[in-house]
Amino acid sequence: MTGESFFRLALVFREGIHTFQHYAPRGLCVDGTFLKTTVGGILLVACFCNGNMELQIIAITVVSIENQDNWVFFLKFLLAHLIQPPAFIVSGRDKGLIPAVKAIESIHHHLNCFRRIMENSNTKFKSKQMKRMAWNVARA
């Protein structure tokens, strides 16, 4: 805390860290979402898909604002606890995330979430057939 205001809090889950070492080639997904409480804030989450095809959370951080500094803090905190770095990171285009990923040398590949790409393209292309074909390509 700085003065009377909240700064940030980070948590790492031991089970997630130990399990991730077996699934690092699958990559890591990071995202942020608003906390809709009286206090507010942003929840940053890192997760991956385990052997049962379930999302498993590795770490979370609660921050006061979503920006590059908080994303850099979260990614460095996360990478410091991982036994091996992820093969790639998948994310949306959250505020400050893209420059934060570029600022960290141990992250070699950054991919955009296909679902987010589709959400953006659906505003331009309304064809259901085009949408089905795009998802088939993504799953191939």
Residue among 134, 12, 131, 32 at smallest CA distance from 91: 32
User: Among all chains, which residue has been given the structure tokens 């600022």?
Assistant: 103
What pLDDT is attached to residue 137?
65
pLDDT tens per residue across span 80-105: 998 877 777 777 766 776 777 677 76
> The whole model's pTM is what?
0.74
Q: Delimit the domains of the chain by residue range.
A: 8-108, 114-140
**DSSP at 84:** S
